Every structure is written in C-alpha cells, then in structure tokens.
Structure 1
C-alpha cells in the first residue's frame, strides 16, 4: 500500500470534510491518486464530498456590470487575503475590468488579459495593482450573458467584505419578480447545470458508475440495480440542475414549475462564489 504525506491528507480533508483517517486510508487505497481518493470517499459515504470537491481557499470578490436589461457580465477577481478584498483600489480594479468585459465580450481569460483598457493591457493593470498592494491578484473567470431579460443578485457572506457570491439569470422575457426569486434561489442552492440536458455525458457516466458501485456494495439484488441507479441519477439531477431543484420558497414546486407558472423560461445562468468552481 502506497505511503502518503500529511499535506495531501490535509488537502483532501479540507476538500471533502471527511475525517483525517478516512482521507489517509482513501489516499493509500488510491496509491496517491487524488481524484481517485475523492471517488473512494464518495463510495464510502463521506459527508458532502460531491458538493465540496471544488472548494479552495481563495479570497477576493465577485463584480457585476449591466448594460440595460439584456446584457450583463460577471467577474471573479481573486486575491490572497480579505484585507486586500476590502481595499478600494482592488474593488475599483474589479469594477473597471467587469465593465470592460461587458463592453468587449472577450473570448476567454487570456484574451481579456491581452486586451487594452485605459491605454494599458489588463495584465499590466493587474501587475501594477499586485505591486501596489503586495499580493497576487488574478482574474479567475468571467461570464457574459447577452439577450433576453437578465437580472443579477449579489450576496455578501460577510457585511465587512465585498460580495462573495454573484448570480446572473437570463429569462426569455421580462419578469423582475420571478427573475429575482430564481437568482436568490441559485445563490443559495448552487446548481451546477441548467437542466439534465445540459449535463455533459462524461459527468453522468461518472455519477452512474459511482451509484452502481454504491448499490452493489449495499448488496442490492442484481435485477434491481439498474432501476435503483436510475433513481439515484434522477436524485442527482434534482440536487445539481437548476430547473429540477425544489424552489427554496416553496419546495413543492421545481424551478421549472415556477418559471412555467409565470409564463417565462430560464435560458441560462451563471453563479460564482469566490474560491469555488
């Protein structure tokens, strides 16, 4: 059995919330393969592994810029400490960059870094702020939604800090009340995909494989395994796809039902939380 170092054990524990010994055993069983160790913990039922796989320790903020009701940009700008996240220069940099994103719609982060803002490249502006504030500052990700009717919701997890959670919701037609409800729901419930049809095939294949192994480990009859796995996949959709989630204000309705009753359709969403995938 492979030996593991305590740094990897600690990292796995922080990522999955599993116990220290469970993490150590999982890494040993996986022969040091970190991703495989995560799957092993999931098979053993470790608490919230699937929902915590992407957690990191980054600080920073989420910023938003609207251009009317049909275009908006969301940006995650990271730093090393919450002290810098509270800094006015850092917050102004985020506001400038997210406005630039909304105006220019760059294709990806490298393209954004190379683009010109106020006579300098965005990378140069980041480097200058890095030097001035004494911390590594980087753009983690951004999103632009264009068309339909778009609302945003920004949430502060700490009243002394800038928003750490940001959401964009795109509907096919205006409905401010429903859009706001869905945006707040999305901030709270952290869906990963819009609908079951939007989940990549490889993601479902992995989940189905894990559920099948769980079901076999539970000693279920072979003839019942396929049906049980299908049920667990459907449960996964209800947890991780927005339109299948139970509405936080009325758990007897799905988000799809809420939208349908209002005569609207959810076209897309973006949810960022600082430090999470």
Structure 2
C-alpha cells in the first residue's frame, strides 16, 4: 500500500507544478518520501530538458517594478503554453527573475542570466525550474530605465493570463503632474506600440528609405513638381507619427501629440521600454 495520502499528492503538486500522475509515480518510487519525490521529479524534468531545446516559447508574461520612484526594471519570461503561463509556480519563477534583475542591477540579458540566485547562475536556476514545470522556460529580455519619475504599466490581453504587455516610462520631472503624465504616456505606449522614443533614434537609412518611397509614390500619383517636397515631408511626418512615441497623437486627446502632453506637464522623456510577450 502506498505510503502517502491524497494530501501529500496535493502538497507536492503545489510545490512542483507537476501533473498528478507524475507526482504519484514519484511518490511511489520514493516510498512516500516527499523530499525524495521532489528530487525525482526535478531529475526527470532535467533529463527531458534537452528534448525541449528546439521548442517554441511564445507564451509567458511580463513583470515590472519601480524602485524609489526613479528606477524601473522589467523582464519578459517565456514558456511554451498559456496553461503554464498562468501556473502559480511559473508566475513565482518570473517574480524571482525580476527580483534578481532588481538586486543585480543588470541592464542586459547576459548580465542577468549570469547573476547568482540560490548559489547558482540564474540561467541554470531557470532551466531547473522549467524542468519541474515540464516545459522549456527562458528569460527573453530585461529593461532598465531611470528618471526623476518612472511609471510601470502592465496590461493583460486576457483576463485568464498574467500581463502580456509591459511599459516602463521615465521623465525628468517630479510631482503629481509629472507622475500623472508619465502614467498616461505609459498606458498610451502599451496600446500604440511605438518603436522609438524620439525621431533622432530612427536610423538614418530607415528615414531615407521612407523618404524615397514617399517621393516615388507622389511622382506615380502625378503630383505637381512644385508641391512634391511638401508632400514628401508631410508623408514622412505621418510615418514618424506611427513609430515615434513623442510624435504619436495622444490616446486621450488625439489633437495633441504625446510630446505636447509632456511639455504641458513640464516634463521631458528620459527613457521608455515596451515588451509584448512573443513580439
């Protein structure tokens, strides 16, 4: 007769996130010893890790934290299925990754994965935890922004899943007005997905290519030569309004730009980061 109870099965499932049959088999093999069963589940998962190396990790979550109102840190942690993405153990793992990102000060992925957690590199820690979950789990990216005021906004695209979109936005001003503007812009960025913060960040070759397309299109439309330059610049401005955050029409009032909203709040943008799971 098995030397464990239904309560033991439930407790071990909660600790590992493993399926019921895997937990029962481990407890059988361990003769009811929960710690040994835990070890067996982990070993079994690690053995299967190499088989999962080529699998797609298009699900997951975004987690973020603001420290002292002036530093924002955000991570994206991926898994294979939405079933695991909403698993408490996976969410706890993502929280641990964020905690390490905050404490280590890592501003790039390599530094974060090399940071130590519980006596091992975070990269190894994540592999082991993924083994228990039975899926390939990766830390995809990390961002860190700083300013006198930083806002972090997380958005759920499905009520059944953790946040799939996250934004950090920083400004060089303080006070309620700056904080409100920073939050509003963070929410805007989550919805409108800008590629760049300012026009200056757009690569010159991208701008020139867009200018060439605008000019060729205008000529194909037989636009007057005298008006050509003005038409091209107008279309180029339209391009910037699509991809540059400060140029985008503000979500709450499309008559003004995001840049104008910040100007009215007496603030300048100092940094932005936007993650969408799998994008």
Q: Into which bin does the TM-score normalised by the smaller protein fall?
A: 0.7 to 0.9
How far did residue 254 of structure 1 move?
Answer: 1.0
Q: Which has the larger radius of gyration?
A: 2
Show the counterpart of 1:84: 84
Check conservation: 1:172, 1:266, Cα contact below 8 A: yes
Check conservation: 2:84, 2:90, Cα contact below 8 A: yes
Deviations for 1:111-139, whole angstroms, at most 9, x for unmatched residues? 22222112111111121122112222112
* Aligned-residue RMSD, C-alpha: 1.9
Is residue 206 of structure 1 aligned with residue 206 of structure 2? no
List aligned pairs for 1:84-233, cutoff 5 A: 84-174=84-174, 175-221=178-224, 224-233=227-236
> Which stretch shows the higher mean deviation, 98-107 or 124-133?
98-107
Distance 2:119 2:235 in 1: 54
Is residue 256 of structure 1 aligned with residue 259 of structure 2? yes
How far did residue 262 of structure 1 move?
Answer: 1.3
Distance 1:93 1:202 in 2: 41
> Which stretch shows the higher mean deviation, 102-111 or 211-220?
211-220
Unaligned runs of 5+ residues in structure 2 are 1-55
How far did residue 233 of structure 1 move?
Answer: 1.0
* Aligned with 2:272 (options 269, 272, 275): 269
How far did residue 222 of structure 1 move?
Answer: 5.1
Check conservation: 1:71, 1:102, Cα contact below 8 A: no
Distance 1:237 1:136 in 2: 38
**What is the TM-score normalised by the length of structure 1?**
0.74
Deviations for 1:25-62, whole angstroms, at most 9, x for unmatched residues? xxxxxxxxxxxxxxxxxxxxxxxxxxxxxxx9821110
**What is the TM-score normalised by the length of structure 2?**
0.74
Distance 1:229 1:244 in 2: 17
3-state SS in 1 of match to 2:64 = strand
Is residue 237 of structure 1 aligned with residue 240 of structure 2? yes
Distance 2:234 2:131 in 1: 53
